[in-house]
Amino acid sequence: MASSTEKPQQPLCLHILGYKKEGITSEEYRNYMVNVHSPLVAGLMKKYGFLQWSMTHTTPESPALMGQLYDPQFANLATYDAVVSIVIPSIDCFVRMKADPYFRNSVGPDHEHFADTKRSQMLIGLWSPLMKDTELVGSCAGVTAPQ
């Protein structure tokens, strides 16, 4: 625990920019991740102190939805099949989870059932929440809409 003179550590957010395994459909990929893989890893995430976790999966409608946002600043559609976002208080949470025998024997190998682990990419950095449940938080708390 941080002493009263130490600044609390800012949480980290890991984004897994995922591609599905060749030979499965987008729906099979989403279904496996949400209904098979997630329950496999959820207890470990709780055990090791993960703070938040979500998944976003593309659908066949995703390009058309992006088309509605298209302009010179919103012109490059990412080709990932999913983005998994994991918020942790420190990197140690993830390191300890990956060292857990259950992760090494069950969770880690399960990725090969649905993910193209050679193409998928990762990004980790400081997590700065700005809105939660329609309410502005953090550095945006108290900001109002322009008139």
75-87 pLDDT tens trace: 888 999 999 999 9
pLDDT at residue 2 above 60?
no
Kindly state whether residue 6 falls inside one of the protein's structural domains: no
The CATH number covering residue 127 comes to: 3.30.70.100
Q: Give 9: exposed, middle or buried? Use CB within 10 Å, 0-12, 13-18, 19+.
A: exposed
Kindly state whether residue 3 falls inside one of the protein's structural domains: no
Kindly state whether residue 1 falls inside one of the protein's structural domains: no
Give residue 147's pLDDT: 87
Per-residue pLDDT tens for 98-142?
999 999 999 999 999 999 999 999 999 999 999 999 999 999 999
DSSP state of 11: P
Kindly state whether residue 2 falls inside one of the protein's structural domains: no
Domain that holds residue 45: 12-140
Kindly state whether residue 134 falls inside one of the protein's structural domains: yes
Kindly state whether residue 94 falls inside one of the protein's structural domains: yes
Percent share of the chain, pLDDT over 70: 95
How many distinct structural domains can be found in the chain? 1
Q: Give 77: exposed, middle or buried? Use CB within 10 Å, 0-12, 13-18, 19+.
A: middle
pTM: 0.89
